[in-house]
Amino acid sequence: MKKASICTIGDEILIGQIVDTNSSHISRALGSLGIRVVRMISIGDVREEIISTLDNELKTNDIVIATGGLGPTKDDITKDALAELSGAGGYIKNEEQEAIVHRILKSRGLDILDINLRQAMVPDSCEVIPNRMGTAPIMVFRFPEERYGHPATLFSLPGVPYEALGALPDILNDIEGHYKLDGITHRTIMTYGLAESALSKLIEPWETSLPADMHLAYLPNQITGVRLRLSVYGGDKQEALKRIDERIEALKPLLGDNIYAYSDSSLQAEIKELMCSRGLTLSVAESCTGGEIAHLLTTVPGASGYFLGSVTSYAIPVKEKVLAVPDSAISENGVVSSQVAAAMAEGVRRLTGSDYAVSTTGLAGPGGDDRNPEGTVWIGVSGPRGTKTFTYRYRNDRLRNIERFAATSLDTLRRFVLSDIND
């Protein structure tokens, strides 16, 4: 299996001014070719550091992808470092890139300065892939087996994300043209409702029985739950898929409806499918989650196909006036109670005329009250067959509690609608 390393060059990432998003895109792209990324490194605009780091990575990897440090200004010195690393005899002009520089600056109504034209000059030791989205060319340095004990390729990409990602298809084509690749085959299983530790305990016998060439990864997330990724490297893709699917079949009875999808997905995306495919509509009444449930639902394009709307009744009068929560329910049980959660769900369902509704009332913190400790939430779900409530307790900070409350509400709704359908 081919190995790769990704190096981002530039002080702005090192000092934490910007987050490096290029590396994860590049890694996923390489992964789709079955190339394993073994290291990601961020270094500053320091010539010696750039040379020694890239030289080191080329020793142990087939492919090294460097991004950044190609701007026109003085502090960008990656190109000189690459010239030295690759033993270039000098610089030559790349006509194609120069034409692009002229076109881009003209389109921006800018004068063409020497420092701009210098961007089209490249070390004579590299091949050039034109960068149509920016002024800095994409450089490809191919090192013969003698240099590092194996054929190695170094790609230099601009750091600007849309230029770097724009270059990826050309990079992948170049790699496929020069390397014999064994693919990777994997499936993702989305689960919600079990903590990572409980999940791994539950499936331990199944996990230990996996063949040696099959790898399981746990990828936990506050909002999507624990994502399981089952991978096989190399071999025949169809055969590998068949073997993975057999294992997933054996996994299903162990996890039951804790599994909500068999591909990369989210609770809100699955709810949209569930509702839209059956022409069902949804409304939401939020208190402690303060709009996060509606926000998550509406991050999915096409949410308007089933999501009618929501009421965030943060103040008690809004609960009573807009959602018609009886003040007796509040005075007798408190705002954070099963009765209020139920009344909120029924209230917003009445108000909007939706088929289903979900509601939350709880204490995200800081601080709880005499009845309920911090992190307590009551969730109400209401539909054609009636209303149910559930309570959970989490022990995170305010923001994480809000996220968990919202995610668990989506999961509760999902299970509630499914149980209606499967009846």
Can you tell me which of 89, 90, 108, 180 binds a second copy, judged by CB under 8 A?
108
Can you tell me which of 92, 133, 324, 418 binds a second copy, judged by CB under 8 A?
133
Residues between 370 and 399 that touch a second copy (CB under 8 A): 375, 392-399
Using CA atoms, how far residue 76 sits from 82, 288, 299, in Å, is 12, 48, 38
- Cβ distance 405 to 394 under 8 Å? yes
Size (the chain), residues: 423
- 92 phi/psi in degrees, rounded to 5: -130, 150
Nearest-approach distance from CB 367 to a second copy, in angstroms: 8
Piece in contact with a second copy (CB under 8 A), picked from 91-99, 232-240, 288-296, 414-422: 288-296
Q: Is 419 an interacting residue with respect to a second copy (CB under 8 A)?
A: no
Looking at the Cβ atoms of 77 and 127, the one nearer to a second copy is 77
DSSP, collapsed to helix, strand or coil, labels residue 92 as strand
Q: Is 18 an interacting residue with respect to a second copy (CB under 8 A)?
A: yes
Q: Is 352 an interacting residue with respect to a second copy (CB under 8 A)?
A: yes
Distance of CA 65 to the CA centre of its chain: 21
Strands 138-143 and 127-129: antiparallel
Residues between 151 and 170 that touch a second copy (CB under 8 A): 160, 162, 166
Residues between 39 and 68 that touch a second copy (CB under 8 A): 39-44, 46, 49
Can you tell me which of 238, 277, 304, 331 binds a second copy, judged by CB under 8 A?
304
Q: Is 14 an interacting residue with respect to a second copy (CB under 8 A)?
A: yes
Q: Is 116 an interacting residue with respect to a second copy (CB under 8 A)?
A: yes
Q: Is 360 an interacting residue with respect to a second copy (CB under 8 A)?
A: no
Q: How many of the chain's residues bind a second copy (CB under 8 A)? A: 108
- Cβ distance 248 to 205 under 8 Å? no
Residues between 317 and 336 that touch a second copy (CB under 8 A): 317-318, 321-322
Residues between 171 and 210 that touch a second copy (CB under 8 A): 195-198, 200-201, 207
Can you tell me which of 59, 87, 99, 110 binds a second copy, judged by CB under 8 A?
110
- Cβ distance 345 to 359 under 8 Å? yes
Nearest-approach distance from CB 175 to a second copy, in angstroms: 16
Beta-carbon contacts of 84 under 8 Å, excluding residues fewer than 6 positions away, are: 47, 51
CA atoms of 343 and 322, how far apart (whole Å) = 12
Residue 287 in tokens: 């208190």
Looking at the Cβ atoms of 142 and 322, the one nearer to a second copy is 322
* Nearest residue to 375 via CA among 336, 333, 348, 342: 336
* Nearest residue to 316 via CA among 343, 353, 293: 343
Can you tell me which of 307, 356, 378, 416 binds a second copy, judged by CB under 8 A?
307
* Helix pair 398-422, 267-276: axis angle to 10 deg: 30
Q: Is 315 an interacting residue with respect to a second copy (CB under 8 A)?
A: yes
Looking at the Cβ atoms of 198 and 421, the one nearer to a second copy is 198
Nearest-approach distance from CB 423 to a second copy, in angstroms: 27
Looking at the Cβ atoms of 88 and 274, the one nearer to a second copy is 274
DSSP, collapsed to helix, strand or coil, labels residue 240 as helix
Residues between 266 and 285 that touch a second copy (CB under 8 A): 283-284
| Cβ burial, residue 209 (10 Å; 0-12/13-18/19+) | exposed
Task: Reply yes or no: is the peptide bond before residue 161 cis, omega within 30 of 0.
Answer: no
CA atoms of 56 and 339, how far apart (whole Å) = 64
- Cβ distance 37 to 5 under 8 Å? yes
Residues between 230 and 259 that touch a second copy (CB under 8 A): none
Can you tell me which of 1, 28, 99, 209 binds a second copy, judged by CB under 8 A?
28
